[in-house]
Structure 1
Amino acid sequence: MPEIPVVPALWRFPAHPASVARARHAVAEVLPRQLHAELGLITSELVTNAVRYGAGADDLVELVLWPADGHYWLAVSDPGDGKPVLDHRPPPDAESGRGLLLVDALAAAWGVVQRPYRGKSVVAGLALPA
């Protein structure tokens, strides 16, 4: 008989700035302690981008977290059509624009996957500690 795979954790939050902290805490509750800081930061940055740029006031932001292939994978989905762009040179006085730089520095891999009907998912993987 095949082994049943781990069921991914799933959350949906209102597209509101207060959801960033709620999402970070929800993810931290199911992670091994040694991954809290890095995956917490990735969660914060991706949910912030989804709330600011990908979702309207009445929309939801969806998070899925699952372990696979020696990584924890996080997908943050929103209904927006825009694709996040990694800006390697935000102005020094900019108060935003560095979120994807942080994700890029921390994640083993990340990318954008269009959803079949509406929106996109930004997926990032963080390697499990040895």
Structure 2
Amino acid sequence: MKKQQIILEQNEYQLLLNLIKNGNYPDLITQKCMKSLSDEMENAIVKSNKEMPDDIVRLNSIVDVQTPFGPKHNLQIVLPVHRDISRNKISILSPLGSGLIGYAKGDKVKWMFPKGTGTIQILKVNNAAMELA
């Protein structure tokens, strides 16, 4: 892993805290992912939007990753209500989404998946949508 701590934008940090706190996660994998993400957030570096590095995975980022199950391209990290796997939109609370948030291009992240623990490598991060907002 390139960075010792995840980096989160302050509004996204608050949003994640609320989603984790108020969520009802019936399956064990999602519960474990939320616990791990919550633990990482305790030591996160929180920055203003202007201070956020361009290569950090954020809400609405489009990423290319290498997973234990093969490469995944053009995945967009979205709120749970906007998830649509047919359009490559994955929930920030999914095992993959929660494992990527706050990490940067080049990072390797050991994370939990329904089929077991594996390593995700972040190959590309596109935050162009943030510039338009």
TM-score by length of 1: 0.34
Q: Which has the higher contact order (CA 8 A, sep 6+)?
A: 2
TM-score by length of 2: 0.33
Radius of gyration: which is bigger? 1
